[in-house]
Structure 1
Amino acid sequence: MEELFEGLLNDHLGFVVWAAVAFIILLILLGKFAWKPIMAAIADRERSIEDALLKAEAAKEEMARLTNENEQLLKEARKERDQILNEARHLKDQIINEAKTAANVEGARMIEHAKLEINNLKAIAMADVKNQVATLSIEIAEKVLRKQFADQAAQDELVADLLKEVKIK
């Protein structure tokens, strides 16, 4: 077997050496022209993937921040809306109360004015009634006196009675 092994080595030894030299040359050429660009491309791809992951993480953080900020703004907007609604309700109540107060004051003023007007008209009516009563009384007295004074004896008797009632002091 040794002979067979030696024969194979001697015949094929040159082939193995040339194959090894060709493989080493191929490795050098691939290392110089292909391996470096392939490794550079792989490194660039790793960097771009890493950058993309970092950018995605930053975008995720920014999205979370914006979401929180939006929630905060929404809470503030709701709070401001509630405050505005409360102020509007308070203002409405205040306006209603002021209107009621003004209406009550105006109503009281109108009632007082109406009472004064009624009292004035009543006084005018009473004065008119008194004038009419006085006029009627004078007319009745005049008619009574004319009838009484138509008779001369009745006139003399009336004068005598009046003189008796009047006392000189």
Structure 2
Amino acid sequence: MASFATVMPVFAAGGITSINPGLTLWTGITFLLLLLVLAKFAWGPIVKQLADRERSIREAIDSAKKERAEAEKLMLAQKDALAQAQREAAELARRNQAEVETLRQELTARARKEADDLVADARRQITEEISKARAELKAQVVDLAIDAAARLVKANLDEKSQRALVEEYIAQLPTNRAA
């Protein structure tokens, strides 16, 4: 405790508000020397680094602005390309639908023509069959008439004369009656 007591009077001798001119002079000189050393060796590189940093930040900001503008241009170009692609797709779909409709109409017309041809062909075949049936029926009627006449008449007429006579008789019959 004795050593503590001796330190105490030193503080008491020089108070906080008392000015020591020697200490103040040396503190000022040291401060000025520190400022000169810092100005010569530290401030130049620090200011240069700050200027370089400011320039690189400014360049980065300018580059970012340019890249943003370019990205916006690309985005607009993409939107335009997308809109163009959508228009082309809609046009292609419209053309395809028109082609499908045209093909459907062609196929319908072709099927209708084939059906009409089949009906006409069937009618022609029916007409031919009716003609054949009439010819066969006429021949059978002629044969039956000859047989009937031969039995009834029992005359001396030969078959050729009988046939001619019956055919003449059948020809004189009304047409709708033979049909």
Q: In the alignment, what sits opposite 1:106? A: 114
Shift of 1:21: 4.8
Flag structure 2 segments of 5+ consecutive residues without an equivalent: 1-19, 157-179
CA deviation profile, 1:24-73 (whole Å, cap 9, x unmatched): 43233212211111111111211121122112212221221122112101
CA distance in 2, matches of 1:94, 1:14: 110
Q: Which moved more, 1:107-116 or 1:26-35?
A: 26-35
Shift of 1:20: 5.2
Mapping of residues 102-141 of structure 1, within 5 Å: 102-141=110-149
Mapping of residues 28-107 of structure 1, within 5 Å: 28-107=36-115
CA deviation profile, 1:58-95 (whole Å, cap 9, x unmatched): 22212211221121011101101110110111011011
Shift of 1:114: 0.8
Moved over 3 A (4+): 11-16, 18-25
Aligned residue identity for 1:34: A
Is 2:141 aligned against 1:145?
Answer: no
The count of aligned residue pairs is: 137
Shift of 1:13: 8.0
Aligned residue identity for 1:136: L
The root-mean-square deviation of aligned C-alpha atoms, in Å, is 2.2
CA distance in 2, matches of 1:113, 1:32: 118
CA distance in 1, matches of 2:73, 2:98: 37
Structure of higher RCO (CA pairs closer than 8 Å, 6+ residues apart):
2
CA distance in 1, matches of 2:65, 2:147: 119
**How many percent identity over aligned positions?**
28
Flag structure 1 segments of 5+ consecutive residues without an equivalent: 1-10, 150-169
Aligned residue identity for 1:125: A
The TM-score normalised by the length of structure 2 is 0.69
More helix by share: 1
Q: In the alignment, what sits opposite 2:175? A: none
Label 1:12 to 1:119 Cα distance change in 2 as closer, same or farther (>3 A). Answer: same
Shift of 1:19: 5.2
Q: Which moved more, 1:104-113 or 1:75-84?
A: 104-113
